[in-house]
Structure 1
């Protein structure tokens, strides 16, 4: 079995998604880049029962293998394969059916710049990709378009995606996006939130270029997210 430690990290991260409350049951899935392809979670396996041997290896042509007999790749393997094949800046993909992200996705709503932390996903909004049947190439195509210039998006009537250099960063972004979705949903219960304009979001995005980078701390002018 290749990449045993990374396979175990995928299992641990899948369980962590549910423990954090950003996913339920077997609905989410994960993909991680490896040499010549990717590792993905299997289809329909409870995270509590999943082992490193259940993780499926794929190449970018869609060929796959698994140490555990009878396992198939997640139904959303197209998304994981297409994102990792087309984005050199991405090392891991997290897909969840997080409650507030999914609620907004059922309204086909983007998450606008109601809060400056929207910039954590790479732009001035978090787009909602048009609906397509789960597990289809059409869904992957829609997601790729929504992710242009972004590290996260919603999937209409479905859930959300978050990208990162590695599993830890992708999961952290998924948590942040779900938090933003919850804040936006709550604000909508009172009225339409006041949105930050493009000029302000451009300033925030510029500050985020040095966020979390110690070597730039002295020049960051306080560019941190509290």
Structure 2
């Protein structure tokens, strides 16, 4: 990656981290975000937010380059969840950016350790008929990385038991949009459950939605 491209990515990553706080996905030093530096996560590594610093106190140069083996550049430590980010990039080649947040409603649901069922058709936005909750593992560990990758198979988002959420997207803008949508969906599910068990869409109904999502939200092609 050219130096000027890397500088632009650093600025975009910091802007995304600040946008996460503005959207109330994170508070203080909680959560983290990253962007893939190149096509090969083993060789190119990733750019990730630093550990222990709120986004509003950071500069673009504080974003940390991390290699797949854990080596990092610069004086600041990378986020404690760097291993999770590396594992997701290795498992999902189309992931260009990853956001991890302790968003209020997603975290509340994650503490119940249950998948989010098809209470609303927008569940399909994240790739399947449910959004899974990954099994519990201590933060910053290989066990948590493995659990997250398993829960993300065929999905763009998952809950982390007693922890929060993880979302991956094509790029930083896409990942941020998905994270905000996912937290909104978590709030809707939480509120629905206050009224009693929700009426769920059937497998057939969700299959139809998933088929329609193959073109839903994509810009129309124009000739000329």
| TM-score after normalising by structure 2 | 0.92
3-state secondary structure, aligned to 1:200: helix
The answer as to 2:55 corresponding to 1:50 is: no
Instruction: Please say if 1:30 is aligned against 2:33.
Output: yes
- 2:69 equivalent to 1:64: no
Q: 1: distance between equivalents of 2:95 and 2:211?
A: 20
After superposition, what is the alpha-carbon deviation per residue over 1:11-53, rounded to whole angstroms, capped at 9, x for unaligned?
1110110111111111010111012111011100111111111
Matches within 5 A, 1:1-226: 2=3, 3-35=6-38, 36-66=44-74, 69=75, 71-215=76-220
Structure 2: unaligned runs, 5 residues or longer: 39-43
Which ranges of structure 1 fall in alignment gaps of 5 or more residues? Answer: 218-226
Of the structure 1 ranges 156-165 and 51-60, higher mean CA displacement relative to structure 2 is found in 51-60
Q: Is the 8 A contact 1:113 1:195 kept in 2?
A: yes
**SS of the counterpart of 2:46?**
strand
Answer yes or no: is the 8 Å Cα contact 1:210–1:216 preserved in 2.
no
Q: CA deviation at 1:216?
A: 6.3
Hey, what's the Cα distance between the residues in 2 that align with 1:51 and 1:146?
33
Count of residues in correspondence between the two structures: 214
Instruction: Report how far residue 211 of structure 1 moved.
Output: 1.5
Alpha-carbon distance, 1:213 to partner: 2.1
Q: Give the structure-1-normalised TM-score.
A: 0.92
